[in-house]
């Protein structure tokens, strides 16, 4: 019996309250072949630390379990509120129309989806035959719980806005969704936490219908070396301290800063999106390149 299978059985026997998407992620490996067993020992980065790929998944999961309740407060503190502007621009670049079927991945707290709903509401009444929808997918149930609570408090329900809203615990690298089922796919500040970027992009391509659009908002690299140095000083010297003062956590925010530095630069990520099959791939730098918006189409 594999170590993974023994672990899952232990969860069941001890009635540990792990979210089902966590169990499903582990259960995929129960059918592992000898080559798959070797793959588990492949190494990747967790921030600046080198870890096994399976270990990274667990560590990232723990990070977001830890910071979920303070996630939005910390975003305001770390970016001085500018993340709100970045996300507003992101949705305006997407420019959804009535009838859009959006999959928002790594969107647990609802920041992007709520902006999408507001954008559609501002377009005016939807034609009867144009039903819009959003599926909010996140691998971390704690982040989804925060988003659901926000949705209830702020009135983001189908009854109040007329848009189908579904919350889904799932893995961006292995989505439990049919092919060609969405017209738009967004992922904001989430893809750098995934182990296999190529698998995330391939899954995005698979679930998008022909003509569908992929959009990613992510921290990036500043083209100016002096500004990059200043940004690094702020990131490494200030952000972990803010995490400790506001959220009572240092290490998760140290990881978040390190993960930004490990993420491919704008041109390299553009090439990865093209390798996944997307066409008309472009990117736009915001705030001197602190973040960038990548866009591509399934044609």
Residues annotated within a binding site for S-adenosyl-L-methionine: 109, 138, 171-172
In whole angstroms, give the CA distance from residue 220 to residue 217: 9
Rg of the chain, C-alpha, whole Å: 19
Kindly report the three-state secondary structure assignment for every residue of 37-73: HHHHCCEEEECCEEEEHHHHHHHHHHHHHHHHHHHHH
- For the annotated binding site, the residues are 109, 138, 171-172
Please, are residues 125 and 89 in contact by the beta-carbon 8 Å criterion?
no
**SS3 assignment, position 13:** helix
Q: Which residues 6+ apart lie within 8 Å of 49 measured at CB?
A: 258
> Residue 226 region, left (φ>0) first, then alpha (ψ -120 to 50), else beta?
alpha
Query: Would you say how long the chain is, in residues?
Result: 299
CA geometry: angle at 185 spanning 157 and 111, to 5°?
45
Cα dihedral: 251, 252, 257, 260 (round 10)? 140
Place of tokens 């918006």: 293
Distance of CA 110 to CAs 20, 157, 214, Å?
20, 12, 18
Residues 6 or more apart from 254 whose CB is under 8 A from it? 47, 240, 243
DSSP state of 165: E
Q: Name, in order, each residue with C-beta under 8 angstroms of 155's C-beta and a sequence gap of 6 or more.
A: 161
- 194: helix, coil or strand? coil
């Amino acid at each position: 019996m594999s170590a993974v299978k023994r672990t899952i059985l232990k969860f069941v026997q001890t009635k540990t309250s792990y979210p089902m998407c966590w169990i499903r992620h582990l259960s995929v490996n129960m059918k592992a072949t000898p080559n798959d067993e070797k793959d588990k020992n492949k190494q990747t980065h967790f921030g600046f630390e080198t870890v096994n790929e399976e270990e990274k998944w667990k560590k990232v999961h723990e990070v977001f379990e830890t910071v979920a309740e303070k996630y939005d407060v910390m975003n305001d503190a770390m970016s001085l509120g500018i993340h709100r502007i970045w996300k507003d621009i992101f949705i305006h670049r997407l420019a959804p129309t009535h009838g859009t079927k959006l999959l928002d991945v790594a969107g647990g707290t609802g920041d992007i989806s709520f902006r999408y709903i507001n954008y559609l509401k501002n377009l005016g009444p939807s034609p009867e035959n144009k039903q819009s929808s959003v599926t909010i997918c996140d691998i971390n149930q704690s982040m989804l719980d925060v988003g659901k609570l926000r949705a209830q408090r702020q009135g983001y329900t189908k009854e109040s806005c007329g848009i189908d809203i579904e919350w889904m615990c799932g893995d961006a690298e292995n989505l439990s969704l049919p092919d060609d089922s969405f017209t738009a796919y967004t992922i904001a500040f989430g893809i750098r936490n995934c182990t296999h970027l190529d698998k995330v992009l391939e899954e995005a391509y698979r679930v998008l219908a022909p003509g569908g659009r992929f959009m990613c908002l992510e921290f990036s690299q500043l083209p100016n070396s002096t500004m990059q140095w200043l940004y690094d000083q702020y990131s490494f010297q200030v952000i972990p301290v803010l995490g400790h003062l506001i959220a009572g956590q240092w290490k998760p925010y140290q990881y978040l800063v390190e993960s930004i530095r490990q993420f491919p630069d704008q041109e390299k990520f553009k090439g990865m999106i093209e390798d996944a099959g997307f066409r008309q791939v472009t990117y736009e730098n915001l705030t001197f390149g602190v973040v960038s918006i990548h866009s591509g189409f399934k044609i």
